[in-house]
Structure 1
Amino acid sequence: MQSLWWQIFDVLGTVAFALSGVLVAISRRMDIFGVFVLSAATAVGGGIIRDIILGEIPPSAFRTSMYFWLIISTLCLASISVRYINSGKWQHMMRYSIHFYLICDAVGLGSFTVTGTLLGCYLYPQYWTLAITLGVLTAVGGGVIRDVLAGRIPGVFKKDIYATASLSGAVVLYLLFISLEMSLNAAAVIGFIFTVAIRLVAVFFHLNLPRVKRKRREQFF
C-alpha cells in the first residue's frame, strides 16, 4: 500500500514503539544487544504478525532496510541521551519518563491501528472483521512481545484500556473509510486521534475493563 498517510503513520509508529522498547530495556538494565532486540520486537513485531496472516512472506520488515535504520537511529539517540546527560538532569528526566513512555506507546498504538486497518481495507474491504483484527494485532502485537521478553505480564491483559482503544479506533476508521466513504486522509487522522485519545484518557483517569472476581474469598475455580 503506497498511500502517503499509511507511510507516515508506519514511520511514526515504528519510531514511537522502538523508543518505548528502548525505555523498557534500559529500565530492565539490559545490554546493548538486549536493548536492540526489545526495541526491534516492539517496533516491527505487530507488523510481522499482520503480514504472516496476509501471506506476505517475507514480511515487509525484512524486505526493506528502512525499519532497521529507524530502529538503530532511535536506539542510538536514546542511548546517547542516557549515557551523556549528567546525573542530575537524568534523575529529573526520569521522574517524567513514565509519562514520556506512555505518550510514545499511545502514539505507536494509534499509528499501527491505522496502518493495519487501512491495509485490511485496501486488500479486502468486504471483510470488516479482517480489517479490524489486522489493526488491533498490528497495534498490540509488538507491545505483547516486548513485555514477554522483558519478563512482564503484557499490559494489554491486565491494566488500563489498551487493546480496547485500538479496537475502537479500528472500528471508527473502517466505518468512516468504507461505510461512509470518507477520504482516506480524513479517516486515517480521525482514527489515529480517536485511538490515542481513548488510550490517554484511560491512563489519566485510571480506567480499566471490569475483571472477574470471586464472590467470596474462599471460593476457587
Structure 2
Amino acid sequence: MQSIWWQVFDILGTSAFALSGALVAISRRMDLFGIFVLAAATAVGGGIVRDLMLGHTPPSAFRTTLYVWIIALSIVAVVLFIRYVNVSSRQRLVHQMESVYLVCDAIGLGSFTVTGTLMGFYYYPQYWVLNVTLGVLTAVGGGVVRDVLAGQIPGVLKKEIYATAALAGACILLSVHIYWGFTIYAASTLSFAFTVCLRLVAVRLHWNLPRVRRTTKSSIF
C-alpha cells in the first residue's frame, strides 16, 4: 500500500510509539539494548501482527531500514532530552516524562488506528469487521508487547479508554468514508484526531470501562 496518507501516519505512529517505548525502558532503568528492544517492540509490534494477519511475509518492518532509523533517532532524541534538558528538580523531570509519554502514546494510538484500518480497507474493502480489527490490533499490539516486556499488566486489559478509543476511531474512519463520502484524507484526519483526543481526555478525566463488581465476598474471585 503506497498511499501518501498511509505513509504519513505510519511514520508518525512509528516515531511516537518508539518514543513511548524508550521512555518506559528508561523509567525501568534498562540499558541501551533494553531501550532499543522496548522502543522497537512498541513501534513495530502492532504492524507485524497486522501484516501476519494479512499474509504479508516478511512484515514491512523487515523490508526496509526506514523503521530502524526512525527507532534509532527516536531513542537518541529521548536520551538527549533526559540527559541534557535543564530541569529544576527530579520531580519536575518525572512529571515531564509522564506527560511526554502520554502524548506520544496517544499519537501512536491514533496513527496506527488509521494505518491498520486503511490497510485492511485497501485489500479487503468488503470486510469491515476485519478492517476495524486490524486498526485496533495495529494500534494496541505494540503497547501490549511493551508492557509485557516491562513487567506490567498491559494497560489495555485493566484500565482507561485505550483499545476502545482505537475501536471508535476505526469505525469513524470507515463510516465517514464509505457512508458519508469523505475523502480518505479527511476521514483519516478525523479518525486520528478523534482517537487522540478521546485517549487524552480519558486519561485526564480518569474514564474507565465498567468492571464486574462482587456483591458478596468470595474466595474464588
**Corresponding position of 1:30:** 30
> Post-superposition shift, 1:85?
3.5
**Corresponding position of 2:114:** 114
Matches within 5 A, 1:192-203: 192-203=192-203
- Indicate yes or no: 2:132 matched with 1:95: no
Task: Describe the shift of the 1:86–1:194 C-alpha distance in structure 2 as closer, same or farther (beyond 3 A).
Answer: closer
1:122 alignment partner AA: Y
How many residues get paired?
221
Matches within 5 A, 1:23-62: 23-62=23-62
> Post-superposition shift, 1:99?
1.5
Contact 2:5 2:185 in 1 (8 A): yes
Contact 1:82 1:90 in 2 (8 A): no
**Corresponding position of 1:145:** 145
Contact 1:125 1:178 in 2 (8 A): no
Q: Alignment partner of 2:146: what SS?
A: helix
Provide the rounded CA distance (Å) in 2 between the counterparts of 1:7 and 1:90.
38
**Corresponding position of 1:158:** 158
> Post-superposition shift, 1:141?
0.0
User: Identity, % of aligned pairs?
Assistant: 61
> Post-superposition shift, 1:197?
1.2
**Corresponding position of 1:12:** 12
> Post-superposition shift, 1:167?
0.1
> Post-superposition shift, 1:96?
2.3
Unaligned runs of 5+ in 2: none
Provide the rounded CA distance (Å) in 2 between the counterparts of 1:84 and 1:206.
32
Unaligned runs of 5+ in 1: none
4+ residue runs over 6 A deviation: none
**CA RMSD, aligned part only?**
1.4
> Post-superposition shift, 1:131?
0.3
1:67 alignment partner AA: Y
Task: Describe the shift of the 1:196–1:85 C-alpha distance in structure 2 as closer, same or farther (beyond 3 A).
Answer: closer
1:120 alignment partner AA: G
Give a deviation string over 1:182-204, Cα, whole Å, max 9, x none. Answer: 21100000010111111111111
Contact 2:117 2:135 in 1 (8 A): yes
TM-score, normalized by length of structure 1? 0.96
Provide the rounded CA distance (Å) in 1 between the counterparts of 2:79 and 2:72.
10
Provide the rounded CA distance (Å) in 1 between the counterparts of 2:90 and 2:43.
25
Matches within 5 A, 1:69-88: 69-86=69-86, 88=88
**Corresponding position of 2:131:** 131
Provide the rounded CA distance (Å) in 1 between the counterparts of 2:130 and 2:117.
8
1:166 alignment partner AA: A
Contact 1:121 1:178 in 2 (8 A): no
**Corresponding position of 2:176:** 176
